[in-house]
Every structure is written in C-alpha cells, then in structure tokens.
Amino acid sequence: MGRVTSRRRVVRLVDDAVTVRPDTLAVEEPLEIRVRGKSLAVTMRTPGDDFDLAAGFLVSEGVVRAPSDIVSIRYCAGATADGGNTYNVLDVGLGEGVASPDPSIERNFYTTSSCGLCGKASLDAVRTVATWQVAADPIRLDPKTITEFPTKLRAAQRVFDRTGGLHAAGLFDAGGNLLCLREDVGRHNAVDKVVGWATRAGRLPLTSTVLMVSGRASFELVQKAVMAGIPVLTAVSAPSSLAADLAEEMGVTLVGFLRGTSMNVYTGGHRLGVTAAAR
C-alpha cells in the first residue's frame, strides 16, 4: 500500500528569521479504477481505503446499489514494466446480472483531487437516476447537534494533523454520533470512501443520516448524497448555485457555512424546524 504522507525539506520564513526544516505533505497519487478488466476512471487521491473509494464511486455512477453487486475488488499486478504492483490500479468484479457502466455516455473520466468528475456530456448525464428517494426521509435534527459536527470531524482527522492538506467527510446519525470518517486530498474522494464503506457494510440506503464535508458543497457532492440515500448534507463552506438547485429538486436538506453556532440553511429547512427560513 502507498504512503499517505511524505516528508520534504522546506525553507521557512518568519519575519526576518530563515530556517530549514522538514515538512509533512499529504500524498497524492493516481488510482485507476477498472470494471471487469476495462478501465473506467483515473482519479488523483490519497492512498488508503481504496476499495471503499472504488465502491463509492460506482454507487455515485449508478452502477452499484448493494454489496452483492460487487463480487471482488483487487489490486492489479503487472501495473509496471517488471510486472510489479503499484497499488494504484484496481479492478472491480461485478455480480452476475449487474450491468457494466454504460459506454454510450460521453464523459471525461480523468478526475482530479480538486474538481471530481469533469466534462460530462450534459447536466442530464450528471443527474443519474437515483435508486432511493430522499425527499420523504423523516429525519429531524436539532440545529445545536449540527453545530458540533465540524469540531467532531476535525478531532477525528488524524492525517490532517500532520499535513494540514486533506479534506474530510464524515457520516453522522441523527443523534450526532460519528459513524464513519474518511480523509483525502479530494473532497469528492473522501465522500466516495464514506459511501463505499457503507456499501460494503450493507448499510445502503443511508436513511436518517447526515453527511458532513470539510470544504464547500458542490453539485457533485449533493449527487453523491442522493445516490447513497443521504437526506442531509452539511458543509463548512458555501454551496454552489447548482448544488442548491439539485438539493431542492431532490429533497435534500443543504446547510453551508457551518461555523461555530451559525449556519446557512439553503434547502430542506423543515428538518431543522426552520421552514419559514428555507424551503
């Protein structure tokens, strides 16, 4: 398995003082995801929880819906000229009767740690048909419970403490208990790792749960929440306009700028008892 951190010498400037010191960086390496031996995507990620990442990615793409849809995930030997294993290439075996990803949807399957899947043919192609409807999810939350999520998320980030360079995604229940946390250089990867963990554990759909992300809330993250059956998405930063549109359309409660005791509720405010403030 690859390392999650790397050491590098840096020159540090503080006022007029110059020192040379080692610094710890978060590792970023490519991961190629293959399905039934055929290359599907290459994403830049932090090594670790790669099987969860692959499973979560396939849930987001509508390929996988249950643990039984995946019969195997393995690292591919022979990824180098000498036949070695880089642990940067995965092959996912799908169960009998599970359709392979549709090759007719034109999209750029190179992804980066910053943008997630880019270049999909159209907005309609991004709006993958959801398996579960989250609009009717009965979860109700005390806003005070939500305000504790950023602190709990930060406290559980082990690699961030050493590097300061990783995003985190955490899954909480309605009582504020942290069920799963994953870190990655890409926030979309961190979410896929959480969804993949839940998939492989047989927890889908993730009804009455809250997804908390350390950065902004993009359209893609709302889509990933919907595909996993998560009714509430909270973020420490702002959502995009398209993220808010999709959240409203799909019945997701979307909270942004969650800092201290304040937050902005963009959609689904009824789950927080603030229907007058947000639709």
pLDDT tens for each residue of 36-55 = 999 999 999 999 999 999 99
Q: Domains of the chain: which residue ranges?
A: 29-116, 134-272
* Confidence band for 160, pLDDT divided at 50, 70 and 90: low
pLDDT at residue 163 in the model: 54
Residue 118: active-site member: no
The CATH number of 29-116 is which of 3.40.50.720, 3.40.50.10860, 3.10.20.10, 3.40.640.10? Answer: 3.10.20.10
What are 224-276's pLDDT values in tens digits?
A: 999 999 999 999 999 999 899 999 999 999 999 999 999 999 999 999 998 75
What are 65-111's pLDDT values in tens digits?
A: 999 999 999 998 765 556 667 789 999 999 999 999 876 544 445 45
Cβ atoms of 254 and 245 within 8 Å: the answer is no
Please tell me whether the overall predicted TM-score, pTM, comes out greater than 0.75 for this model: yes
Domain pair 29-116 / 134-272, same fold:
no
pLDDT at residue 8 in the model: 78
What are 185-230's pLDDT values in tens digits?
A: 889 999 999 999 999 999 999 999 999 999 899 999 999 999 999 9
Cβ atoms of 174 and 140 within 8 Å: the answer is yes
Q: Which CATH architecture has domain 134-272?
A: 3-Layer(aba) Sandwich (3.40)
Q: What is the DSSP secondary-structure string of the chain?
A: ---SEEEEEEEEEETTEEEEEEEEEE--EEEEEEETTEEEEEEEE-SS-HHHHHHHHHHHTTS--SGGGEEEEEEPS--STTS---S-EEEEEEPTTPPPP-TTS--EEEEETTTEEE--S-HHHHSPPPSS--TT------HHHHHTHHHHHHHH-HHHHHHS--EEEEEEETT--EEEEEEESSHHHHHHHHHHHHHHTT--S-TTEEEEESS-B-HHHHHHHHHHT--EEEESSPBPHHHHHHHHHHT-EEEEEEETTEEEEEE-GGGGT-TTT--
Q: Which of 76, 115, 118, 180 is catalytic?
A: 115
pLDDT at residue 179 in the model: 97
Question: Interhelix angle for 50-60 vs 219-228, to 10°?
Answer: 90
